[in-house]
């Protein structure tokens, strides 16, 4: 019984393959076909926007005039540091309680607690050598 079923399956697969092969013939010869004529004119290109019109974040002429007047009067705008600043916050016993990191690119600080007084984290996936807590990017207070 098993041999008959196996033989029938093999014959069916062979017949399907034999019937499919004539359908895979190359396309017929198209003969001498003239190519389509090329486009007469290229499409018009979009004009590049002017620097002042294309970017609304650039200062306007009024802003530039105001800045020049302020500089003449001695007012200089603050310069932000481009380097990341890391500060350690200490308690009365001079132990580091948290680190405050201020990236130079965004100037938005975030905090990381130092959990040195807590027991070592031995849970799966936990870092058994680290004493730093989870980074606090957003602080919500009431």
Determine the average pLDDT of the residues in 35-57. Answer: 68
pLDDT band (50, 70, 90) for residue 24? low
Tokens of 10: 């093999």
**Whose CA is closest to 132, among 106, 103, 96?**
96
What's this model's pTM, rounded to 2 decimal places? Answer: 0.36
Q: How many residues does the chain have?
A: 142
3-class state of residue 114 by DSSP? strand
Strand partners, 90: 96
Neighbours of 102 (CB within 10 A): 15
């Amino acid at each position: 019984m098993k041999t008959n079923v196996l033989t029938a399956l093999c014959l069916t697969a062979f017949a399907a393959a034999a019937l499919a092969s004539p359908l895979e013939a190359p396309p017929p010869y198209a003969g001498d076909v003239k190519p389509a004529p090329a486009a007469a004119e290229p499409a018009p290109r979009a004009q590049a926007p002017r620097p002042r019109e294309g970017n609304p974040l650039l200062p306007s002429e009024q802003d530039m005039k105001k800045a020049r007047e302020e500089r003449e009067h001695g007012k200089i705008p603050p310069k932000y540091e481009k380097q990341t600043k890391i500060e350690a916050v200490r308690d009365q016993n001079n132990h580091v309680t948290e680190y405050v990191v201020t990236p130079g690119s965004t100037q938005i600080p975030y905090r990381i607690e130092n959990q040195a007084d807590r027991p070592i984290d031995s849970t799966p996936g936990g870092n058994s050598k680290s004493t730093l807590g989870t980074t606090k990017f957003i602080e919500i207070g009431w």
